[in-house]
Structure 1
Amino acid sequence: MNQERFPLHDDAQVPEPAREMSMSKFGMIPNLIRSMSTSPQLAEAYLTLNNLFEQTSLTAIDRHVVLLSISTRHQCHYCVAAHSITADMAEVPAEITDALRARQALDDPRLEALRQFTLAVVEQRGWVSDEQVEDFLETGFTHQQVLEVILGVGLKTLSNYTNHVTATTLDAPFAGRRWEPSVSG
């Protein structure tokens, strides 16, 4: 139903900056960007934020922990599948990706602290306590990385909410890591 109101734009309808950035990053124009292209500014903002997030001091594994934690919490079928594929491509260990997809604790204490802090930021809408920040810092993260988690939350809020409103169809390359949220939320 929502796709009738929010079509998947064809290549020619995707704004040039978003088309170029998508092809450069993904080798294709994902359906998320096709959906976002109803608002060219949204598509460009998302891709720009994505590039900035990749330049943070967080490691590739850290970034995937942040993105998958947020996307599972927001119950975004599209982003969980897409980030599972990109995590596989980035050689994130399968046990980490699978635990994140199942919303389970991670064995690595540092990564689990990152997962918990990310979820606290999302669930508390940024109103994390001084104690939560201190606990996060004590696991080896920095003040800069506290703010980089917030950047990840902003990035995923744009894509997760867009997918919810537009009912974005999962791209074929992501189908192998299809994900459905549990009833418990």
Structure 2
Amino acid sequence: MEFTIYTLETAPEASKKALRHAKETFGFIPNLEGICAEAPALLKGGMTLWDLFSTTSFSPVEQQVIYLTANYENECDYCMAAHSGLAKMVGMSTEDIDVLRSGEPLQDPKLQDSATLLSEWCKLVVG
């Protein structure tokens, strides 16, 4: 199956505001957001959830620990690659990224607590 990856120039008019927001947020338009532009409400919803998560008390690094843990638990290679890049952008060490990508425990107890909590939640929800 092939998906169209929209740009600011080719996206439906109703998606352009959310795509501009994605570009401002990430410094580029990720392919997932470009694909979601096909359905403006989906793209807007995804960006809204991203924004809401960024308002939590989790630091940007802790947020990426949570995302990478979810990526690992759900075996999403695409998401793992994308969030590895985002983790680097927020200053996470390459060592910690590699540890999360392999499902191993982190050395920092606070970061590991976030990873463990999400890992256990994923096992309860997904099975």
TM-score, shorter chain, exceeding 0.5: yes
- RCO higher in structure (CA 8 A, sep ≥6): 1
Aligned to 1:84: 84
CA shift for structure 1 position 109: 2.1
Deviation at 1:28, TM superposition (A): 2.3
Aligned to 2:11: 13
Q: Is the 8 A contact 2:19 2:34 kept in 1?
A: no
In structure 2, distance between residues paired with 1:65 and 1:46:
19
Measured in 1, the distance between the counterparts of 2:96 and 2:30 equals 24
Counterpart secondary structure, 2:125: coil
Per-residue deviation at 1:16?
1.7
CA distance in 2 between counterparts of 1:114 and 1:30 reads 25
Identity %: 28
The unaligned stretches of length 5 or more in structure 1 are 127-185
Number of residue pairs aligned between Structure 1 and Structure 2? 124
Shift in Å, 1:104:
0.7
Task: Output the CA distance in 2 between the equivalents of 1:101 and 1:78.
Answer: 12
| Separation of aligned partners in 2, 1:113 and 1:104 | 13
- Aligned partners of 1:42 and 1:50: how far apart in 2? 12
What is the RMSD of the two structures over their aligned residues, measured on CA atoms?
1.8
Counterpart in 1 of 2:29?
Answer: 29
- Work out the CA distance in 2 between the residues paired with 1:27 and 1:111: 25
Asked whether the equivalents of residues 18 and 43 of structure 2 are also in contact (C-alpha less than 8 Å), the reply is yes
For 2:119, the equivalent position in structure 1 comes to 119
- Contact 2:22–2:28 (Cα < 8 Å) also in 1: yes
TM-score, normalization by structure 2: 0.87
Alpha-carbon distance in structure 2 between the residues aligned to 1:55 and 1:101: 25
> What residue is the counterpart of 2:51 in the other structure?
51
